[in-house]
Amino acid sequence: MKIDKMDLLLKSQELRRVFGENENSTIDIFSLVASIESITLVRYPMSENFSGLCIKEKGVSLIAVNSKMTIGRQRFSLAHELFHLYYDSSMTAICYAEIGSGSEIERSADIFASYFLIPPLSLKKDIAELESRRATGRINVDDVVYLEQKYGVSRQAILVRLLDEKCISKYYADNMKSDVISSARYLGYSSELYLPSPEKDRYGTFGCMIKQANAALSKSLISVGKYEEILLQAFRPDIVYGDDGGGEVFD
């Protein structure tokens, strides 16, 4: 069955509206998901073959992303898992690393994630503006870096999307799969987007589970000891031991 891209675009726009985002804005997807009442978000270092997973059960959901992947890829994986959470009837989805591969539902989730993070109208406007600046009328690697920085996605994610939009050839895309970090640094950008989570941030749980533990403690449903045990199992020693990362600053 052919994938209905228009339906996936409409779904991505619908979910943006649900979250209070307009159809063309860039999204801080980690903050957005961590703020959703029913979702527990986990960062965990998985095998290089997996990008993330989604588990749904009785109104409470868990999304995990592979923290050994680059920050840009983690953002894409998180958007991919939102598709499974809201539009896939399966209760569990384990997602693989290569974008655009796997079953129809996995490829649909990838297309949805791309539309969700990189709205088509916004991208079309960017491409037209970038192409107009080039004597060749074609975007180059500097433009690709600009786009992946603007939308916060990995080089793989932006190249797949530009190929789909027929803005670049496969030969051109293949030539831009190397020197990713150096191309960004050369243009003055941080390399953070292209690197995995720092070691200290590779394990972490955010959102619903933490809020539920806090609520249970405040209502005396669990002891302080049990509360701390839950948080430590959720990779949140910073809450238990008050690790503020070197001092709090109000500025």
Tell which residue, 91, 103, 98, has the closest CA to residue 77: 98
pLDDT of 1? 66
pLDDT of 138? 87
Instruction: Tell me whether residue 249 is in a domain.
Output: no
37-54 pLDDT, tens digit each: 889 999 999 998 899 999
Contact between 150 and 172 (Cβ < 8 Å): no
In Å, how far from its chain's centre is CA 31?
Answer: 10
Query: Across-strand partners of 40?
Result: 62, 207
Tell me which residue range forms the domain holding 128: 121-194
In Å, how far from its chain's centre is CA 11?
Answer: 17
Residue 173 shares a structural domain with residue 144? yes
Hey, what are 157's tokens? 């994610």
Instruction: Tell me whether residue 248 is in a domain.
Output: no
Instruction: Tell me whether residue 214 is in a domain.
Output: yes
The torsion defined by the Cα of 78, 110, 96 and 204, in degrees rounded to 10, comes to 0
Residue 169 shares a structural domain with residue 128? yes
Give the total number of structural domains in the chain: 2
Output the pTM of the full model: 0.91
Residue 162 shares a structural domain with residue 187? yes
Tell which residue, 158, 116, 120, has the closest CA to residue 19: 116
Contact between 30 and 43 (Cβ < 8 Å): no
User: Which residues of the chain have a pLDDT value below 70?
Assistant: 1, 243-248
Contact between 78 and 34 (Cβ < 8 Å): no
184-196 pLDDT, tens digit each: 999 999 999 999 9
Contacts of 197 (CB under 8 A, 6+ apart): 43, 67, 68, 71, 74
The residue behind tokens 């992303």 is: 65
Instruction: Tell me whether residue 1 is in a domain.
Output: no
- Three-state DSSP class for 44? strand
Instruction: Tell me whether residue 157 is in a domain.
Output: yes
In the chain, DSSP assigns E strands to 39-44, 50-57, 60-66, 92-96, 204-207
Residue 188 shares a structural domain with residue 236? no
- CB-neighbour burial class of residue 85 (10 A; exposed 0-12, middle 13-18, buried 19+): buried
116-142 pLDDT, tens digit each: 999 999 999 999 999 999 888 889 999
Buried b (16+ CB within 10 A) or exposed e, 98-118: ebeeeeebbebbbbbbbbbbb
Tell which residue, 139, 141, 106, has the closest CA to residue 123: 139
Q: Give CA–CA dist 173/240, Å, rounded.
A: 47
Instruction: Tell me whether residue 45 is in a domain.
Output: no
Mean pLDDT of the chain: 92
- Three-state DSSP class for 43? strand
